[in-house]
Structure 1
Amino acid sequence: MVKNTTGGSGHKKFARKNETSKKGRNLRISLEDAEIYGIVTKMFGNKFNAICADGKERGVMIRGKFSGKGKRDNFVAVGTWVLIGSRAEWSTELDKNGMEVCDLLEVYTAQNREELKRTVPIDWSHLVANDLSVAVGQDGATDDSLVFESGSSNDELKKIIESDIGKKTVGFMPSAEVEEEKEIDIDDI
């Protein structure tokens, strides 16, 4: 019989590549005044700047909970929506840029954004305006930066075509006379 050299728990040492994240994760919403929704604008290693729903820019610390195992579900990048915990109640700490220092509490996925907009009755205009994945038109409607116009542009195009038709066109007519080929001196060029 073969000797067991690895022990009984040797199988746990391998990477769990196919392990799925927690299913049915509940959506965390702001329960206190110190918890604020924001969108990431600039990354600095274990910190980032975020513009919050109240319009202020804050410096946010990424806690250890959001690194290591399960980091894939908590990936923070520019344009990510987050829930921020303000330290204003017990600390008046400011970072070197004079911004209020806060803590990261939750990272929202793209699916969670729509659910947040439906369930939480606050003004989302500051977050939507700074969201890189969505462009906002002049009328406040969101679109994907593509504009299709009809009407006046077609009329203008017809006028340009009609004015070009009225002009004489100058074309190239090859002449019957063929000039002798001259040698070209490369040094003259």
Structure 2
Amino acid sequence: MSIGEEIYQVRGREERFHGRVFSVVTDQVAMPEGRVVARDYLRHVGAVGVVAIDEHDRVALLRQYRHPVGRPLWELPAGLIDVAGEEMPAAALRELAEETDLVAERIELLVDLHTSPGCSNELIRIYLARGLSSVAELNRHERRDEEAGMQLGWFDLDDAVEMVFSGKITNGPCVAGLLAAARSRAQGWASLRPASAPLPS
């Protein structure tokens, strides 16, 4: 049992909103001194992202419109864990194919990220994909809504990292994935974990 489970016990939960991607709940949480307080947060289905790097050390990034911020952002190929029974590595490969028309010979775990733990339980698992090739034309995914307008760009990994520091890339998982990939590459990829590594406890 973790410290949080021992001390911050949930005494009650009320669901305020339920949607396809997330729900909004209010938990009644016991504090260390004994007080019970209300905590509102998003319960998220979880997600995967992919840092896809080709043989020239270029990374595939997508420019996609995000309505909450009112503009397009450069992002990693990514998506929700919303297919019943699908393992996270398979979801990562599916999202890569659907959003970039690419398949990978191998993927490895790069980094796990709680995107906004002050207001959400969302965990995104970010993979490194290498050995890239194109999806056959007949098997390509039909993109709709915001995805229909996505723009695929290829960037030298070092240039993409500079885009982080210049403020041109602000999407959290993209920032984390690019910086983790650059650091791991500098270490000869020694930090990579198996794609099926256990989730953080």
The structure with the largest alpha-carbon Rg is 1
Higher relative contact order (CA 8 A, sep 6+): 2
Q: Same fold (TM over 0.5)?
A: no
TM-score w.r.t. length of structure 2: 0.23
More strand by share: 2
